[in-house]
Structures are given as C-alpha cells and as structure tokens.
Structure 1
Amino acid sequence: YDNDGWPDIFLVNGMDWPGHVQKHATPKLYHNNHDGTFTDVTHKVGLDVELFGMGVAVGDYDNDGYDDLFVTAYGQNHLFNNNGNGTFTDV
C-alpha cells in the first residue's frame, strides 16, 4: 500500500452470518516493519470499516501507481482508493 518494496498483509475478515450472534469485524492491514514483524495500521489508514468480508481484489483502478482494494462483502462491496499518502478512502 505504501510502495516501499516490502510486502504488507491485507486480511479480509468476516463476521458471523447475519441474524446470528455478531462479532464486529473489519478487514486488517499489517505494515511490514522490514525486520520480520508487522504493525496493524488498519485504523490509521482508514480501513476500519465494519463489514462481512468475503474476498478482495488488488489493483490500480485509477492508474496512479498505488494499489487500490476492492473488497467483496455480504450486502455492500467496498472500493478503497489508495490516496497515495498512506491512507485509503472508501469510494
């Protein structure tokens, strides 16, 4: 997400099926610290959106050189535009 050449980790987290006991879940983005550890930056980058995640596609839909995220979810899908400054906007 930050184009630093180190692979970061993005996880799509689901919740319990609608109508059952709910666990509030968000996708998670972990930044590679370049030393074998990762830091949860989900809130910092604007990806702390509660959703029933089912899958993700990564690509640069607006051709600005930064990977954007399309998260498929039960109900509404989410397109997260990478703003190029370390944050995302749910468009």
Structure 2
Amino acid sequence: MSEEYNHPIARFHVGQAIICVDAKWPALVASSNLQVPASGPVYHVRDIEPKPWGFGVLLTEISNPVMKLSSGRVAEPSFDEDRFMPA
C-alpha cells in the first residue's frame, strides 16, 4: 500500500464517500479472486495512488492481497478513479 497521496488534481480525497458508476470489469479481473466494487453501495476512499493515466483509489470497504502488478510494482491493486463519483 502506498502512503496517503492527496494530489491537487486528484478528483477525490482520503475519507470521501464515493459510489461506483462503472462496475463492468474486464474478464481477467472478473475471473480473478479480487474483490471489486459493485454499482450502488457507498464506499470510502482509503488511499489514492498516482497512475500513468491518472489516479487509482483504494477503498476502506475492500481489501485485496498485495500482488505483482503489470507495472512491475508489488502493491494492492487500486481502482481507476474514473469509475467513481462522489456519493
């Protein structure tokens, strides 16, 4: 897990309530053992991580194991902030 990261251009902040508006996960993610957000429930931002394309969020309500990511880093996978909106 990364340190807390509140970048001025991040859409959300740690502790903010958000909802998933795009729960259509790629087949690889859907077939894995990862827990993923569903449309409807309110989640809370646990951490924000910079990504090459924007930011990823970790959620208080969902905790996945640390794994080797496609970037080569070893971390808990985060979810693209574009899949969420403020609650």
Larger radius of gyration: 1
Q: Is this a same-fold pair by TM over 0.5?
A: no
For CA contacts below 8 A with separation 6 or more, give which structure has more relative contact order: 2
State the TM-score, normalizing by the size of structure 2: 0.32
State the TM-score, normalizing by the size of structure 1: 0.31
